Structure 1
Amino acid sequence: MRIAVVGSYGAGLTMRTPRVPGPGETLGGGVFAAGPGGKGSNQAIGAARLGARTALLTAVGPDPYGEQARELWRTEGVDADAVLTGRAATMVGVIMVEDGGENRIVIAEGALAELSPDHVRAFAGPIAAADLVMACNEIPAETVSAALATAREHGTPTLLNPAPARDVPEADTGLVDYLTPNLGEARLLAGLGPDAGPDELLDALRRRFPAATTVLTCGSDGAYADDGTRRLHVEAVRPPLVADTTGAGDAFNAAFAVGVCAGWDLERSVRYAAAAGAFAVTRHEVLPGLGRPADLQALLAEAAPQ
């Protein structure tokens, strides 16, 4: 299985706190940790841990965070030969995690703003050799467009994780083979309000992304999938505890991509992805929550009907 990822890398600065402070308020008692993040890197590492050969295109800064990223990719077996070292600092995300696992994130893009369509075109070799190209919205919109278009030129299927939420140019909607929004992202893409439910959203996304299989993640309600011929609901895999929801979507996308590349049917791929998301929330920070096959199989076995 070969997966090419065009996406983001960033340093995650995480503060765990009983609650988020209000305006002008200072809270003590926080627990701080710093570690690697960024949706593109997380998804590449997640897929690699699940057995895929992954190649990553992203941008880092000429700073210690960038050096740490390259060492991480070497350790995890991710091909990072194409990664750009930009002029600006490595992207940083500041994450606040409350008791109960809810998180809030603020991002400074830094070097990611320098990742351009030209860099994607130079990455055409790994895209052409891949079984799937993954892209996400933490990089410039025109760079995402170039990734989708380059993949189409070479006949490589595409997976767009439209996070963080922003609209997709109409010219790109026909270039997406797999679309994996959460409820908020789906409502933005569909142009529907907060009361729109899964079926209404999937109907609207089917009209707008006619070639795409859409997998709509709905947290504790599991995931809904529509491939144009059938629609299914895959129940959530219940984790034994929720420590931190950061990175759960990246774990889900990595596992779903691996299922697609393995040739599994839609239901099995989504179920595997649900197990990856469930495993992720049992760990503090992102990297410890990117599971390996044995981790996901253990959760699936526990969730199986007795």
Structure 2
Amino acid sequence: MKIAVVGSYGAGLTMRVPRSPGAGETVSGGVFAPGPGGKGSNQAIAAARLGAEVSLLTAVGDDDFGRAAHALWRAEGVGATHVRTASAPTMVGFILVEPSGENRIAIAPGALDELDAAAVAAFREEIAAADVLVVSMEIPEEAVAAALRAGRDSGTTTLLNPAPARPLPDDLWPFIDVITPNQTEAPVLLGIGAGHGLDDEALVRALRERTGGIAVLTRGGQGALIAQESGVSVTPPYPVGNVVDTTGAGDAFTAALAVALGSGHPLDHAVRYAAAAGAHTVTVAGVVPALPTPDQLAARIGTAP
């Protein structure tokens, strides 16, 4: 079973500080932790761990962060021969985290700004050979659109994880077979603001109407809602005893959903499997260390795709 992923890679440079500095101020006593990130890379690694043959399209710089990314993908069994080496540096995010958990983040997209339709065109054979194409939105809209169109042209199932969310052009909606926003992303996609008055069921129905395919609304500890032609159904959450770190849960959910659908499992089963992957991820600190294996999910839910 093959998964093609079009998305981002970036290095996360996190410092936990006693408090955030003011203008012109230096604050000492921080604890620094670098690590790999980017939704595309996270989803590719998660899918590979769950047994998929994965090809990734992203862009990195000719720098230490880019070289570390290639080493990570080799170690995780992710196919990265189509990853672009850009003239700009690898994407970096600087994250300051206060003891309360409040954070301040600054991102330099760098190499990702060079991921364009031409890069996607060179990746079309991988998209056509895949059972599922996974696209996320930390990359230029040009690349998102080109990838979704290539998936539709080749008959590959397209799965859009619309994060970070932004309104989608009207002409892109029909190219999406499966869309997986959370509760805050869904209104943004639909172009409706705060106080819209729609409950979760109305949101997921509206998303399904836009795509004509399948909408899965993730709701954290409340599980997920699935809207398809036959109606709306509820996937209950998997109980989690101790939430350690929610970062990466959405990426694990998306990857597991793609793997289960690519393996031919029914939608309800696939969403339950994805929910279990998300539940596992929040119990482990860090993103890459938290992404589950089939054995870990089998232990949680008693089966695997």
What is the TM-score normalised by the length of structure 2? 0.92
Q: Is the 8 A contact 1:103 1:245 kept in 2?
A: no
Structure 2, unmatched stretches of 5+, are none
1:104–1:200 Cα change, 3 Å = farther
Q: Is the 8 A contact 1:91 1:111 kept in 2?
A: yes
Residue 69 of structure 2 corresponds to 69
Residue 206 of structure 2 corresponds to 204
Task: Give the total of aligned pairs.
Answer: 300
Give the secondary structure class of the aligned counterpart of 1:242: coil
Residue 167 of structure 2 corresponds to 167
Amino acid at match of 1:64: D
- What's the offset of the Cα at 1:298? 2.1
Q: Is 188-197 or 172-181 further displaced after alignment?
A: 188-197
- What's the offset of the Cα at 1:17? 5.8
**1:57 and 2:57 equivalent?**
yes
Amino acid at match of 2:174: G
Aligned mates of 1:39, 1:283 — CA distance in 2: 18
Aligned mates of 2:259, 2:71 — CA distance in 1: 24
Q: Is the 8 A contact 2:59 2:114 kept in 1?
A: yes
1:297–1:104 Cα change, 3 Å = farther
What CA deviation, in whole Å up to 9, does each residue of 1:134-171 have, x standing for no partner? 10100100110000111111111100001001111111
Aligned mates of 2:104, 2:297 — CA distance in 1: 26
**1:241 and 2:242 equivalent?**
yes
Aligned mates of 1:95, 1:237 — CA distance in 2: 30
Q: Is the 8 A contact 1:223 1:236 kept in 2?
A: yes
Amino acid at match of 1:203: R
Q: Is the 8 A contact 1:101 1:245 kept in 2?
A: no
Residue 263 of structure 1 corresponds to 264
1:28–1:183 Cα change, 3 Å = farther
1:13–1:218 Cα change, 3 Å = same
Residue 295 of structure 1 corresponds to 296
Give the secondary structure class of the aligned counterpart of 2:184: helix
Residue 129 of structure 2 corresponds to 129
- What's the offset of the Cα at 1:242? 1.4
Residue 284 of structure 2 corresponds to 283
Aligned mates of 1:133, 1:99 — CA distance in 2: 39
Amino acid at match of 2:204: L
Amino acid at match of 1:270: V
Give the secondary structure class of the aligned counterpart of 2:125: helix
Residue 304 of structure 1 corresponds to none
Q: How does 1:41-120 map to 2 (within 5 A)?
A: 41-96=41-96, 105-120=105-120
Q: Is the 8 A contact 1:213 1:226 kept in 2?
A: yes
- What's the offset of the Cα at 1:300? 2.4
- What's the offset of the Cα at 1:117? 0.3
What CA deviation, in whole Å up to 9, does each residue of 1:38-59 have, x standing for no partner? 0001000000000000000000
Give the secondary structure class of the aligned counterpart of 1:171: coil
Give the secondary structure class of the aligned counterpart of 1:170: coil
Q: Is 186-195 or 58-67 further displaced after alignment?
A: 186-195
Structure 1, unmatched stretches of 5+, are 302-306
Q: Is the 8 A contact 1:13 1:32 kept in 2?
A: yes
Q: Is 150-159 or 39-48 further displaced after alignment?
A: 150-159
1:23–1:245 Cα change, 3 Å = farther
Q: How does 1:17-56 map to 2 (within 5 A)?
A: 21=20, 30-56=30-56
Q: Is the 8 A contact 1:91 1:110 kept in 2?
A: yes
- What's the offset of the Cα at 1:83? 0.5
Give the secondary structure class of the aligned counterpart of 2:148: helix
Aligned alpha-carbon RMSD (Å) = 2.1
Q: Is 96-105 or 128-137 further displaced after alignment?
A: 96-105
